[in-house]
Amino acid sequence: MQVGRTSLAGVLVFLPQPHRDDRGLFTRTFDSGIAREHGVRPESFVQDSQSRSRRGTLRGLHGRGGRGEAKLIRCARGAVFDVLVDARPDSPTFGHRFSMVLDDVDFATLYAPPGLLHGFQALTEQTDVCYRIDREHVPGEDLSVRYDDPDLAVPWPEPVLAISERDLAAGSWQQLRDRLIAATPRADARDRRFHRTSRHPGRGQDGRNRPL
């Protein structure tokens, strides 16, 4: 299994090497030893969740207040355009975004440390996304930013065909950003300027995702 860094601080891509033959394929989707070598504590994860979406469905952008939550994110069936936004005021990549395609061909897994916003759009008719999370859900800590926020300008690849009323009612990145900075005592975080970026790490001409 290969591991690559991304343009967001602390965000990793775990890329397995599936064995394929005339029966189909077999792949390891998680390796605790490799995770530990890269600073991810496997024993910290306490909850596994799965979503199923049809093509064009958009979920996000969602985050969590308090001490946040770490996630391992992978697409078990189909493909998604997956997006992370750094919402950590003390991070060197605060306000940056990162996107890549997760699918059931490469079986890449994204590791998102606490303090990020996450969302995705389903690119296939049946899309299953699996999450491993290091904290139980507490509804009162939910954070959200509207998917089409003009400051983040996420380049969603397809028309949005399904989205929840809750996600449509989400606030702006500027509102959340100001709130997060106001709650952060460090002066350098208060003075940090907003930047944005979107990269597909090591994506080759064949459309496959490659780690850096």
Provide the CATH number for the domain around residue 67: 2.60.120.10
pLDDT > 90? residue 67: no
d(C-alpha 82, C-alpha 118), whole Å: 8
Residue 200 inside a domain? The answer is no
d(C-alpha 145, C-alpha 166), whole Å: 10
Residue 125 inside a domain? The answer is yes
pLDDT > 70? residue 191: no
Q: Give the pLDDT of residue 178.
A: 95
Q: What does the pLDDT look like over 1-60, one tens digit per residue?
A: 999 999 999 999 999 999 999 999 999 999 999 999 999 999 999 999 999 999 999 999
pLDDT > 90? residue 195: no
d(C-alpha 34, C-alpha 135), whole Å: 21
Residue 144 inside a domain? The answer is yes
pLDDT > 90? residue 148: yes
Higher pLDDT, 184 or 107: 107
Residue 205 inside a domain? The answer is no
Higher pLDDT, 199 or 96: 96
Q: Give the pLDDT of residue 186.
A: 62
Residue 171 inside a domain? The answer is yes
Catalytic residue among 38, 96, 111, 131: 131
**Containing domain of residue 56, as a range?**
2-190
In whole numbers, what is the pLDDT of the chain averaged over residues? 88
| Number of domains the chain is built from | 1
Catalytic residue among 62, 96, 111, 200: 62
131 given a catalytic annotation? yes
Q: Give the pLDDT of residue 188.
A: 52
pTM, entire model? 0.85
**What phi-psi label fits residue 24: left (phi over 0), alpha (psi between -120 and 50 degrees) or beta?**
left
Count Cβ atoms below 10 Å from residue 71 Cβ, excluding itself: 23
Contact between 96 and 16 (Cβ < 8 Å): no
Residue 203 inside a domain? The answer is no
